Chain A
Amino acid sequence: MIPENFIQSNLQGISFIGPELILTLAILLILLVGVLLPYWRHRILFTILAVAGLAGSVLPLWKLPQPAPDLTYLSNLFVWDWLTFLSKPFFAVVGVLTILLTQVTGEIDNSEYSECTILVLAVTMGMMLLVASTDLLMIYLAFETMGILSYLLVGIRARDERSGEAALKYVLYGAFTSGTMLFGFSLLFGLAGSTDLLAISQKVAFASQHPQDRLLLIVAILFFLAGLLFKTASFPFHFWCPDVYEGAPTPITAFLSVGPKAAGFVLFIRLFYPLFATGHDATIYEAVSGLDWPSILALVSAITMTLGNLAAIHQNNLKRLLAYSSIAHAGYLLMGIVSLSDLGLRSVVFYLVVYLFMNVGAFAVVAMVASAGGSEEIDSYRGLGARAPYVCVAMAIFLFSLIGLPPFAGFVGKVYLFAAVIYKKIYWLAVVAALNTVISLYYYLRIVKAMFLEKPTETIQIQVPLSSRVLLLALLVPTLGLGIYWQPLARVVSGMF
């Protein structure tokens, strides 16, 4: 007979997964509408439904109790702490922005539009689940839902073989690395006998003393890294990133470069901090003795940044350039993870929020110019400043923010990350990141230079509709606002730990 408190706790748990439920409801509704109405005329309807679903998913969060690190629900499959509390609305915003971007730009035509919205909602739900879960099984399931659906999203444009090729590469690469990660999970399960992270963390602390157990732990960490570094597109598992980002339709690329990547980093925090680090009460943690994974990660971070920046110098296709730039930013974010401290975690989350706006902004402009008649190549941007000043000024602001120049949010994000690394006295990484900023200046400025300083080679008129301008404005305001006065976000982010 199921114990009383068990049912009661589960029923109560249901209220915690309110957002996911609402999203599922929205998906079902869109499916229904898709079946009933001939889909090629009602594009705006699906957008409204999807945005309403995403917005609705955020509502139940306010009624829930004060988040606490140990408040687990649904028989401790999930935890309701500050990280979850902030991540769920974050992913909702990511979903909304992607859907608005698909609506505004014509990349995805009406026939596939309903599937696209459904998949976006589903992936968002997967991410929300992943962020909250503290059980290996639940993590794997959420990871896979997010993964598999995003393969589909990449391959959504049936007629365009570039999108097909990207999807193929993504699915093969993704499946293989998540398989490896699963193998790592199994090893860890073998060591600890349970799939709950808390139980495992006690066993790990105990096991790291014995040499042969430590070997098993090292292999487990390696396979973990395979999966996580794949998702966050960091060296050495980044090879899929440029091709998939270039192949996929631009709104989806924007979504991939922010949604799953952020989920990857939050998963990093979920897995590595409880399992392989000690000293939770103090603001500075220590890696479990014997497993010096932070120095490995520091090296990976340095290589990722440098590789991302250097490879981006020669790119002429803007989507590919932004792909490499997102790899470089993954390197910067790893810096935050590497500095095992409260400030480090806060800097990662802060940078993710800032990165969301400026990156989606940049991709939005690329999408708009492509759909308004230009190409993704840099040639169509030459002398664009004179012909489409609004879009170009917006693009310049996003790019300067990506470089990390002061009046914009990117700079503050960089300051947070630098602060985290310097707080932990890893000076060499700070200096490497500093020099990388200079290298990144070069290729970001190539675009700005093309837009403002060079003579136009093509003479087509780029007309950007009002809806696009409004979306750009919505992205510009946080990029500029957070650059000048970011106290509110700082308070929210620091409230978490």
Chain B
Amino acid sequence: MQYSLPSFLIVSSLLFCLGMYTVLTRRNAIGILMGIELVLNGAGLNFVAFSRFLEPSQTTNLLSGQIFTLFIIAVAAAEVAVALAIVLSLYSRMKSIDVEDFKNLRG
């Protein structure tokens, strides 16, 4: 069953918007991280879709999109790892990962 490029783009945009929505509404740090993951995956999907559907004449080498997505996944993992480390260190001291509690740096 043939899927056209726009459908993929729609899905990736959806992913992006969902990610953005999650980031905005979640009060829980981990929730926000999940939202960010969604945004990154949206971008990754975009890369794969473009790489798949663009004719050879338009692209210099076929697989650069896929390779890019691989790297995205790797970087996303690293990012989450660091973020979780920071959240954990905060949790150990503040006993809460609710984003609302961290607001004494302001003005």
Residues of A within 8 A of B (CB): 136-137, 140-141, 144, 148, 151-152, 155, 158-159, 161-162, 164-169, 171-172, 175-176, 179-180, 182-183, 185-187, 189-190, 193-196, 199, 242-243, 246-247, 315, 320
Contact = CB atoms under 8 A, between A and B. Distances in A.
A460 B31 CA distance: 47
Contacts of A176: 23, 32, 35-36, 39
A141 B68 CA distance: 10
A275 to B, nearest CB: 16
Interface string B63-107: 011011001100100110011011101100110000100101111
Contacts of A140: 68, 71-72, 75
Contacts of A182: 39-40, 43, 72
A185 B87 CA distance: 29
A137 B67 contact: yes
B79 A168 contact: no
Given A186-B47, A189-B50, A194 B36 contact: no
12 contacts: A140-B68, A140-B75, A141-B71, A158-B89, A161-B93, A164-B86, A164-B90, A183-B16, A183-B43, A187-B46, A189-B50, A195-B64
B54 interface: yes
B58 interface: yes
Contacts of A167: 86
Interface in B22-68: 23, 29, 32-33, 35-36, 39-40, 42-44, 46-47, 49-50, 54, 58-61, 64-65, 67-68
B105 A148 contact: no
Given A176-B23, A186-B46, A148 B106 contact: no
Given A168-B87, A168-B90, A243-B106, 11 more contacts: A136-B68, A148-B79, A165-B90, A165-B105, A171-B83, A172-B23, A179-B40, A180-B39, A193-B59, A199-B60, A315-B107
A152 B82 contact: yes
A155 B104 CA distance: 16
Residue among A158, A164, A179, A182 with max Cβ neighbours from chain B (10 Å): A179
Contacts of A136: 68
Contacts of A151: 82-83, 86
Residue among B35, B47, B85, B94 with max Cβ neighbours from chain A (10 Å): B47
Given A164-B89, A164-B90, A189 B65 contact: yes
B80 to A, nearest CB: 8
Chain A interface secondary structure, helix, strand, loop or mixed?
Answer: helix
Nearest to B32: A172
A141 B75 contact: yes
A172 to B, nearest CB: 5
A164 B25 CA distance: 22
B104 A148 contact: no
B82 A137 contact: no
A200 to B, nearest CB: 10
A137 B105 contact: no
Residue among A159, A172, A186 with max Cβ neighbours from chain B (10 Å): A186
Interface string B1-33: 000000001001000100100010000010011
Given A179-B19, A193-B59, A162 B105 contact: yes
Contact of B60 (A165, A190, A194, A320): A194
A144 B79 contact: yes
B59 A194 contact: yes
A395 B60 CA distance: 54
A179 B75 contact: no
A182 B16 CA distance: 11
A186 B102 CA distance: 34
A72 B99 CA distance: 45
A183 B68 contact: no
A247 B104 CA distance: 10
A148 B79 CA distance: 6
Interface pairs A-B: 9 shortest CB-CB: A186-B46, A193-B59, A179-B39, A190-B50, A243-B105, A193-B58, A165-B102, A182-B43, A183-B43
